[in-house]
Amino acid sequence: MTNTETPPIEGPAAGRKGRPQLAIFLLIMGVILAPLTTVAIFAKNQITNTDRYVETVSPLASDPAIQEAVGTFVVDQLFAAVDVEELAAEALPKKAQFLAAPLAAGVQNLTKNVVDRFLTSDEFAQLWDTANRAAHDRIVSALTGETPSGKKAV
């Protein structure tokens, strides 16, 4: 060894050259991955657990905005499929066919009232939970490849 060469570092300082960069990298990864892990665990527990899912969506059945949206959708779909005015015109005598339009409007209003009354009932809340439970079971089965009983689907 000549006098101009630097002797190799030995002792506790040896191998610490990259430690600060590694520590910063690991800290950044922790900051990024911790929230993602939390969200992933929450999503897995919330999304794949049917009871939790139903517990989460159950209150929506009593939400007036949801009831209004469902009621409007149901009545619109019903009256898009059945032309009540045409049926009334066919059923009425010639001289009374002018009543077909007001009769159809009355039937639509009555239908909306009946649907709205049903949507605010306990029966609708029970139906909502049952439908959401069945739909959730099927979605989880499709996503995981397992049947609701826990067996692998073929």
Task: For 92-124, write each residue's pLDDT tens digit.
Answer: 999 999 999 999 999 999 999 999 999 999 999
Domain for residue 152, yes or no? Answer: no
Which of the listed ranges 12-21, 98-107, 142-151 does the model predict with the highest average pLDDT? 98-107
Structure tokens given for 31: 């900051």
pTM of the model as a whole: 0.62
Which residue, chain included where needed, has tokens 């590694």?
22
pLDDT of residue 15: 58
Domain for residue 9, yes or no? Answer: no
Task: Please tell me the distance from the alpha carbon of residue 111 to that of residue 92, in angstroms, as a whole number.
Answer: 20
Residues 153/147, Cβ–Cβ less than 8 Å: yes
Is 7 a residue whose pLDDT tops 80? no
> Among 121, 153, 126, which Cα is nearest to 139's?
153
Domain for residue 42, yes or no? Answer: no
Q: pLDDT-based confidence at 12, cuts 50/70/90?
A: low
pLDDT of residue 48: 85
pLDDT of residue 18: 77
Can you name the residues that pair with 152 across neighbouring β-strands?
146
Average pLDDT, the chain: 87
Task: Tally the domains of the chain.
Answer: 1
User: Helix, strand or coil for residue 2?
Assistant: coil
Domain for residue 112, yes or no? Answer: yes
Domain for residue 36, yes or no? Answer: no
- Residues 48-56, mean pLDDT to the nearest whole number: 90
Domain for residue 133, yes or no? Answer: yes
Domain for residue 41, yes or no? Answer: no
Q: Which domain holds residue 56?
A: 49-144
pLDDT tens, position by position, 58-88? 999 999 999 999 999 999 999 999 999 999 9
